[in-house]
């Protein structure tokens, strides 16, 4: 049986590893919606709310400056799918690596696989958030509206 692949995308930016790491951790700068709580260090917990459509609670479970950030989704309510808790116990991973004189950011939502109901909508949202809003935030200090 073929294993389902987690959703992943990457961007290449002309910024340092440390700058990219710091920008990822300033979640309210690029993830549209309401962010409550701390998002910058190991053990921090925060919530994300986008109207009545999506709520999730994340905990920073790995934070390696200039290299990696991992969030564990500890709670989730996604209004447009049957199992509103689909994201619970999934991991949101940001891996940072040098590539020539640039920095590659690889984003993976472990557990967001084609077999789950929100895959199409959620992967499309992540693609816009990472490739447009976070990309813009890293380069200019300002995220862009994608929803």
Name all domains of the chain by residue range, CATH numbers in brackets: 7-140 (3.30.530.20)
HSE, side-chain direction, 13 A CA sphere, residue 86: 20
- From its phi and psi, is residue 43 left (phi > 0), alpha (psi between -120 and 50) or beta? left
20, 105 Cβ separation under 8 angstroms: yes
Which tens digits make up the pLDDT trace of 42-66?
999 999 999 999 999 999 999 999 9
Residues 125, 65: Cα–Cα separation, whole Å? 26
How confident is the prediction for the chain on average, in pLDDT? 96
Residues 86, 112: Cα–Cα separation, whole Å? 8
Which tens digits make up the pLDDT trace of 61-118?
999 999 999 999 999 999 999 999 999 999 999 999 999 999 999 999 999 999 999 9
pTM summary value:
0.95
- From its phi and psi, is residue 89 left (phi > 0), alpha (psi between -120 and 50) or beta? left
């Amino acid at each position: 049986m073929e294993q389902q692949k987690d959703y992943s995308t990457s961007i290449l930016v002309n910024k340092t590893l440390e700058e990219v790491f710091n920008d990822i951790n300033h979640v309210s700068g690029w993830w549209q919606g309401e962010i409550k709580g701390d998002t910058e260090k190991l053990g921090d917990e925060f919530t994300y709310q986008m109207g009545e459509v999506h709520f999730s609670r994340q905990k920073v479970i790995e934070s390696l400056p200039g290299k990696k950030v991992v969030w564990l989704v500890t709670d989730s309510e996604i209004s447009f799918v049957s199992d509103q808790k689909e994201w619970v116990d999934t991991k949101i991973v940001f891996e940072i690596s040098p590539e020539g004189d640039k920095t590659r950011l690889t984003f993976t939502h472990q557990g967001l696989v084609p077999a789950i109901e929100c895959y199409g909508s959620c992967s499309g949202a992540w693609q816009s958030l990472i490739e447009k809003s976070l990309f813009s935030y890293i380069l200019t200090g300002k995220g862009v509206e994608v929803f």
